[in-house]
Structure 1
Amino acid sequence: MNIRQQLRQQRRQPHRLSAGAFTLILLSSAAHSEFSSELSSELAWSDAPAALSKAEVQLQSEWQYRTANTSFNLQPRLRADFSDTLYAEQPTSRTDNYPAGSLHSSGPLAQWDNLRFDIPEAYADQYFYGVSLRSGKQQVVWGQADGLRVLDIINPQDMREFNLPDAEDSRIATWMLNAHIPLPNEQSLQWLIIPDLTFSELAEPGTAFAITSPELAPQPVAGVTVNRLPTRRPEGSAWEHGLRWSAFLAGWDISASYFNFYHDTPVIYRTLNTDGNNLQVDVEAVYRRSRLFGLSASTAFSSMVLRLEAGHTSRAFFLRDDLHNNGISQSPELATVTALDYQAPADVFVSYQFYQSRILAYRPQIIRREISTRHTLLLKKTLLNDTLELSFFALLNRDYNDGQLRSKISYQLNDRCSLWSGADYFFGDRAGPFGQFSSSSRFLIGWKNAF
């Protein structure tokens, strides 16, 4: 089977999304259900001598129950990190990224110090008249870019380790209705209704991956008092919704998408106030709405795959170097990714991506550059009948000449147990979005066992 046939076969398979759970049915129908668990642990040491930056243990389970036309899935998870570096010493218990007082919150169900219990996925699949409906807490993946978010913005992210976790692990599943509607001639529609306004979870101030880049976080000014106001979340029934059309035409997998959404990180507004001889800056974080129009296309030829992706955001928000307009400039933004994947001989995989983002209504006061450019390179090699995998990932951000290098070696001991080791290295200007974590480069080891 050639690469083009594989692409077509993958496109016809159901999307691996995540959605709604019915615990009572699962427990009361144990004879018709399946249960599995996975215990894993990962340790990481930072650049500083003997500095343990991560000591995480995770237990994740999965219950499944199936009938003729319906299947249910519930995945509880218990996580603990004993390094005290992913959590602040005096945590702020920041909860504004989760809906307050909601029975359908996507946040932790319980948290004690560095121990957290949550349900990453909980969903029900139903099929009728050719329509596939997935309802509940789920992930939805739009776009094909690796490590670069252009269209893949349906779910918020857990950013307590910045971009280091795999995308599937960093996405925060949210409650939604997700319908796939087949159309003639290898076409389909996907319709999303998302009442759950959960947003990205950022690293706490003072932790290893707290945001400090002036492009992303306002910088304090000596002698000026900062007054932090409560974060302003959307009010009322401000739901998100999206529509995506997909087709296979003339050898191309193509899609067009529309998403009416809230940005997953809040906009930081700053207002200068004077009280006699004292200066004070009021800082207020506000979640703002926008619209995304996206296109993606991919095709295969010989042993190569060409991927194209573009997204136009109607309202993006950028920090200014002054306090005019409350320190924020608003502009449409156009982001594109051009990628080439090559399956080389001897089980070697090579992938290159070229990313650009353009601020369409640029002003000189905006801290970010008008055109932001990034390059990525991914190399993978499998050995020993695919039980041993070597991988290397490099990202260069031309704005600040900063970036990251990531290497990993993983070994599959048997069907249930695997081991891995690797290194994450950040470099470049500390003002850059990657260089800010130069002191958080790390070496890591881990293992995983299924039972």
Structure 2
Amino acid sequence: MCTALLLAVYLPTLAQDGDGWQIKGFVDTYHALRTRSPYDWMSSRTRVRGEVERVWGHSTAFVSANLTYNTLLQARTGIQLREAYLDHRAEHWGLRAGRQLVIWGVADALRITDQVSPMDMTEFLAQDYDDIRQPVNALRLYAFTPIMKMEAVVVPLFEGYVLPVDRANPWSVLPTGTALPLRYAPEGCEPKFRMKNAEYGARLGFNLPGVDFSLSGLYTWNKQPVVDYELGLGELLVKPQYYRMGMVGADISVPWGQVVLRGEGAFNIGKHYSYTPFAPAVQKGFNAVNWMVGLDWYAPNEWTISGQFSMEGILNYEDCIAQKNHQMLGTLNVSKKLINSTLQLSDFTYYDITNRGWFSRFSVDYALSDQIHLSCGYDWLGARTDEGIFGQYRKNSEVWVKARYSF
């Protein structure tokens, strides 16, 4: 940890004005405690993020990495390369090659057409969304005019969701109370590194007076695996399975004074879903429609209020599917800045309308200076039943504190 602190102090001195280099990053520490019995630690981690950028002409090289110490999950301790890419932009075309984030769509913290980059669900939604979305190794080609931008992307190596399967993790997705001991067995389940397994897609966007919209298509894999259960020797094997799927989608954003209206929709082709345990049916793909409408109000006196409603419907639904036919989800984000914008109060809430469960993060962020932010908050989780994405975590409400120094 002393090495991390020395890096945070020393790295900024390496960049000199005018030499094309820029070095920046941050140090943050985050700790969360469960607010009900057994009142145990839900998270305790400290991280150094370093970002190095070199610009020459129309080209850029960018590298970012994390040095993390995680008290609760020792497997998460170490150095992790986050992004590393080369970018070149000409007058009407460009390319970016390497490890990078790919962000599509206009939904806020919801995945509709944004299906290229996988998610890190190690701490469920109790992380910043920028940390939940994960980079991929990809090649992106661009063509653009003042009103149009076309993007083509190829991802040669599959990367799926990072799932919490460590028993020490309070966010573990493995069920408890089973008659046989469980063992997560991902060996040999991921698609192999072959050309036929590559992902590819394209997005065409337009910036017109009074409206922005885009069309997209993607041939990909289900990044969140379908879970199969198999009987082993005195144990139950939990095996993640990945299947091909297609997606065609569109999104639109319309500003209207202080209000922005947003919409996004995707038609998923051949998407696979987890079945109920030991269902007799054979796995197959289903077509599904997933859509969202949202509204953002940038109100006077530094208020911001945003709401979204989304729904996924499975065509030709069958009872063996663990997910309900129509899955409805709403979000509400309310924030207010005070004291010359140095103090921000905010609350972001997910509400599972179908299964009546929720996750609500209330936070207070104070800028002690331009470099130092102190924050704290409360994550409230609840559900009426064990079903849905929040049901298994309804006992995981927590209080947390966080400090961050940017350099």
TM-score (norm 2): 0.87
Amino acid of the structure 2 residue aligned with 1:65: R
Indicate which of 104, 109, 122 corresponds to 1:147: 109
2:281 is the alignment partner of 1:325: yes
> For 1:262-411, what aligned pairs fall within 5 Å after superposition?
262-270=221-229, 284-321=239-276, 322-326=278-282, 328=283, 330-411=285-366
Cα deviation, residue 379, structure 1: 0.3
Partner secondary structure for residue 436 of structure 1: helix
SS of the residue corresponding to residue 80 of structure 2 reads: strand
Q: 1:132 aligns with which of 69, 94, 99?
A: 94
1:413 is aligned, of 353, 368, 373, to 368
Secondary structure of 2:273 counterpart? strand
**Counterpart in the other structure of 1:234:** 191
Tell me, in whole angstroms, the C-alpha distance in 1 between the residues paired with 2:48 and 2:382: 33
TM superposition shift of 1:282 = 6.6
Match of 1:194 in 2: 155
CA contact (8 A) 2:261 2:294 kept: yes
- Across the aligned residues of Structure 1 and Structure 2, the Cα RMSD in angstroms comes to 2.6
Identity percentage of aligned residues: 23
- Tell me by how many angstroms 1:345 deviates: 2.1
Q: Distance in 1 between matches of 2:64 and 2:204?
A: 30
State the one-letter code of the partner of 1:373: M
2:7 corresponds to: none
Q: Are the aligned partners of 1:417 and 1:448 in contact in 2 as well (CA < 8 Å)?
A: yes
Change (3 A) 1:357 1:36: same
Shift of 1:175: 1.3
- Output the CA distance in 2 between the equivalents of 1:146 and 1:360: 25
Secondary structure at the residue paired with 1:396? strand
- How many angstroms does 1:196 deviate by? 2.5
User: Comparing both chains, which one has the higher relative contact order based on Cα–Cα distances under 8 Å and sequence gaps of 6 or more?
Assistant: 1
Distance 1:442 1:272, change over 3 A: closer
- 2:70 corresponds to: 81
Give the letter for the 1:248 counterpart. Answer: N
Q: Tell me the residue number matched to 2:165.
A: 204
* 1:157 alignment partner AA: M
Distance in 1, matches of 2:216 and 2:279, equals 35
2:11 corresponds to: none
**Residue type at the aligned position of 2:304:** F
CA drift of 1:113 comes to: 4.6
Cα distance change, pair 329–117 in 1 and its aligned pair in 2 (3 A): same
1:450 aligns with 2:401: no
- 1:42 is aligned to 30
Runs (5+) with no aligned partner, structure 1: 1-25, 88-111
Query: Any conservation in 2 of the 1:263–1:290 contact (CA below 8 Å)?
Result: yes
Q: In structure 1, how many angstroms separate the alpha carbons of the residues matched to 2:236 and 2:190?
A: 21
1:181-214 deviation digits (Å, cap 9, x = unpaired): 114x6111011111121211100242211125xx
SS of 1:440's partner is: coil
- 1:270: Cα distance to partner? 4.5
Q: Distance in 1 between matches of 2:56 and 2:182?
A: 61
The letter for the 2-side match of 1:197 is F
Q: 2:210 matched to which residue of 1?
A: 251
Q: Indicate if the aligned counterparts of 2:222 and 2:272 stay in contact, CA closer than 8 A.
A: no
Partners in 2 of 1:129 and 1:168 — Cα distance? 30
Counterpart of 1:119 in structure 2 is: 81
Query: Contact 1:396–1:403 (CA<8 Å) still a contact in 2?
Result: yes
Structure 2 portions without partners, runs of 5+: 1-13
Deviation at 1:366, TM superposition (A): 2.1
Q: Is the 8 A contact 1:269 1:284 kept in 2?
A: yes
Q: In 2, distance between residues paired with 1:148 and 1:386?
A: 27
- Cα deviation for residue 81 of structure 1 reads 1.3
- Report SS of the residue matched to 1:204: coil
Q: Distance in 2 between matches of 1:50 and 1:430?
A: 21
Q: Specify whether residues 384 and 285 from structure 1 end up closer, same or farther in structure 2 by C-alpha distance, changes over 3 A only.
A: same
- 1:426 aligned partner, one-letter code: L
| 8 Å contact kept, 1:60–1:77 | yes
Segment drifting more, 225-234 vs 346-355: 225-234
Letter in 2 for 1:323: A
Query: In 2, are the aligned partners of 1:299 and 1:305 still within 8 Å (CA)?
Result: yes
For residues 283 and 446 of structure 1, the distance between their equivalents in structure 2, rounded to whole angstroms, comes to: 35
1:51 aligns with 2:36: no
Q: Which residue of 2 aligns with 1:20?
A: none
- Can you list the C-alpha shifts for 1:69-119, whole angstroms capped at 9, x where unaligned? 21111112101111x2xx3xxxxxxxxxxxxxxxxxxxxxxxx75522111
Residue by residue over 1:236-294, the C-alpha shift from the partner in whole angstroms, topping out at 9 and shown as x without a partner, is: 22111110000134621010001111111222234679xxxx99977543221111111
The 2-side partners of 1:287 and 1:77 are apart by: 28
Q: Give secondary structure in 1 for the equivalent of 2:402.
A: strand
Corresponding letter in the other structure for 1:232: C
2:123 pairs, out of 153, 161, 166, with: 161
Work out the CA distance in 2 between the residues paired with 1:299 and 1:223.
54
Runs ≥4 in structure 1, deviation > 4 angstroms?
223-229, 270-273, 278-283
Q: Deviations over 1:22-78 (max 9, x none)?
A: xxxx99xx9542222311111111123542221111011111211112111111210
SS of residue paired to 1:446: strand
